[in-house]
Every structure is written in structure tokens, then in C-alpha cells.
Amino acid sequence: MRLVLRRVAPALRSGGYGVLAAGLLILVWEGYKLIGSPDGVSVGGVRLLPRADDASMPHVGQILERFGRPEVAAAGSPTVLVAVLRAMWFSFRVALAGWFGGVVVGMLLALLMQRFRTARDALLPYVVVSQTVPLVAIAPVVVGWGGNLAVFGQPWQPWQSVAVISGYLAFFPVAVGMLRGLDSPTAAQLGLMHSCAASYWQTLIRLRLPASVGHLIPALRLAAAASVVGAIVAEISTGTRGGIGRLIIEYAQSATGDPPKPWTALLGAAALGLVAAGMVGLADLALGRFTPAKGAR
């Protein structure tokens, strides 16, 4: 119990600093609006500082207030808050599916590459190269292939394309981080296992996997952020409706007449990333035993 507390307390403290940082950001935003020129600052035709007018930088209060009003003027329209939350929920589920798939694939790849030298030499370069392919380029391919597939007799759903693309981004940090973690036991630790005539599986379960947790947790966090970004970008590039990515595009169209509206969707996307990273934080708490305490080797 005390151990859990010791781990929760710093989390709370860093959470407190997070709130403080958000407060500072608001201060900077509003402060700039106060002193900044409505036309921004340009030097030789290049704008160095943004316009501080209400159309470009609505007041924080206006943005928050916009959450409470209906999305569109039509009767029965939900408030922006409800619309954003709904879109976040949609994107969250898709990103979660992508994250999960990416984590499974990444872990399997890492295990394979750790076990077989050949697999490592053959796969690792492609794992790295895979991340240099622009998402926009894969999106049509995934949608095209998906259109020819039927999963469990069900026709391919658009959200599944988005999840696949999101997983494509998420698997990379997991594969690389976990591989490094599996390789992390020291020569003495490995020598000991060998001297005890431990099998590959015994060494994996009692040494390599526990040793990998410290590298895996940050990788999972990166993967969570990547899967959210992947889901948002994939929604846009595949034209999938219902998620926060699509909402950002839709709301951006009303930027001129309704400046605070696009910012609501952006805040929603940012909040989604925080939620995803926070959930990995919970996993970190649960696996705390395996991550070396500060000051320990």
C-alpha cells in the first residue's frame, strides 16, 4: 500500500504541474491578445507573430463558452460539447483498437527479432523504413484492400481502415522499445540463467520479459500518442465520418463566421491524446514493481 502511495504521490505532483502549465499557457495566450497587434508582427513581409484579433485568436472564455452552445442553428442540434465528446468517443475506440493491434504486432515482432538473429537483420530495417512512408500514401491502399475483405462474414467497415492505419503507427515504438528491453539483461544475468541450464522460455519469462517492462512502458505511451494521431489523420485522409479528425475539418470551415468553433475540436483532440497517455500511466502503476526505482540500477 505504501509502495502504491509512493508511486501515486509523484504522479499527483506532476499532474499538478500539468495544470499549472495549462494555466501558464492560458496566461500567455490572453497576455499576447492584450499587447499583440491585431495584424501581427511582420518583418520584410514575413509574419513572425500571429494576428491577435478575435478571429485568429478567440478568447479562452469564448472557446469554453462555445462548448455550451448548439453545434448549428438548426433545431434539435446538440451542443458543441456533446458533439465533441461523441466524436472523441468514436476516435478513442478506433485508436484503442489500433493501439491494441499495434502493441500485439510490435511485441511479436520484438520477440521474433530477439530470438532469431536472421529475423532481426531482415526485419529491423523495414520496421524503421515503414515509418517513413507518409500516412496519406497508405490510407488509400488500406481502404482499397479493406474493401475486398470481409471479417467474420461482416463487410469491411470504414473505421477498420482507420484502426489499421492507427496501428501501423503504434506498432513501431513497441517493436523497437520492446526489442531493446528484451536485450537489456546484463551478461551476468544471462550467464546465470545459462549456468542454471534455463530453457529459452524460462529465460524469456523470468528474465527478458520482466527486464523489458522498463523499456516497454515509455514505448506503450508513445504508441498511445501515435495511435491517436494516426486515427485522427487517417479519419481525414480516408474521409471517415464520426470521429474527432473529421470534426476538426468540419469545424474549420466555419472559422470565419464562428472563430471559437474550430478550437473546440482541437481541444477535444488534445484531450484525447492526454486520456490515451494517462491510461498507459495506469499500466505503469500496475507494473511498477518491474520498473527500476529512482537511484536503483
Size of the site for other proteins (CB under 8 A): 25
Pull the grid cell for residue 214.
Answer: 522498463
Considering the rule CB under 8 A, would residue 241 count as an interface residue with other proteins?
no
Q: Closest separation between CB of residue 204 and other proteins, Å? A: 12
DSSP states along 243-297 = SHHHHHHHHHTTTTT-THHHHHHHHHHHHHHHHHHHHHHHHHHHTGGGSPPTT--
Pull the grid cell for residue 67.
Answer: 462548448
| CA nearest to 224, candidates 169, 285, 269 | 169
Considering the rule CB under 8 A, would residue 189 count as an interface residue with other proteins?
yes
Q: Closest separation between CB of residue 201 and other proteins, Å? A: 11
Pull the grid cell for residue 263.
Answer: 478550437
Q: Closest separation between CB of residue 214 and other proteins, Å? A: 9
Q: Which of 196, 252, 270, 282 binds other proteins (CB under 8 A)?
A: 196
Q: Which of 148, 187, 256, 257 binds other proteins (CB under 8 A)?
A: 187
Considering the rule CB under 8 A, would residue 195 count as an interface residue with other proteins?
yes
Q: Which of 119, 192, 267, 275 binds other proteins (CB under 8 A)?
A: 192
192 to 195, 196, 289: CA distances (angstroms): 5, 6, 22
Q: Kindly give the pairing relationship between strand 41-43 and strand 154-155.
A: unpaired
CA 147, 140, 109: angle at the middle one, nearest 5?
85
Query: Between residues 166 and 212, which has the closer beta carbon with respect to other proteins?
Result: 212
Q: Which residues pair with 151 in a beta bridge?
A: 154
Q: Closest separation between CB of residue 5 and other proteins, Å? A: 17
Within 8 A by CB and 6+ apart from 283, the residues are: 217, 220
Considering the rule CB under 8 A, would residue 29 count as an interface residue with other proteins?
no
Q: Closest separation between CB of residue 104 and other proteins, Å? A: 23
Considering the rule CB under 8 A, would residue 286 count as an interface residue with other proteins?
no
Considering the rule CB under 8 A, would residue 73 count as an interface residue with other proteins?
no
Q: Which of 87, 165, 207, 216 binds other proteins (CB under 8 A)?
A: 207
| CA nearest to 235, candidates 189, 207, 209, 268 | 268
Considering the rule CB under 8 A, would residue 5 count as an interface residue with other proteins?
no
Considering the rule CB under 8 A, would residue 295 count as an interface residue with other proteins?
yes
Binding site for other proteins (CB under 8 A): 186-189, 191-198, 202, 206-207, 210-211, 213, 289-290, 292-293, 295-297
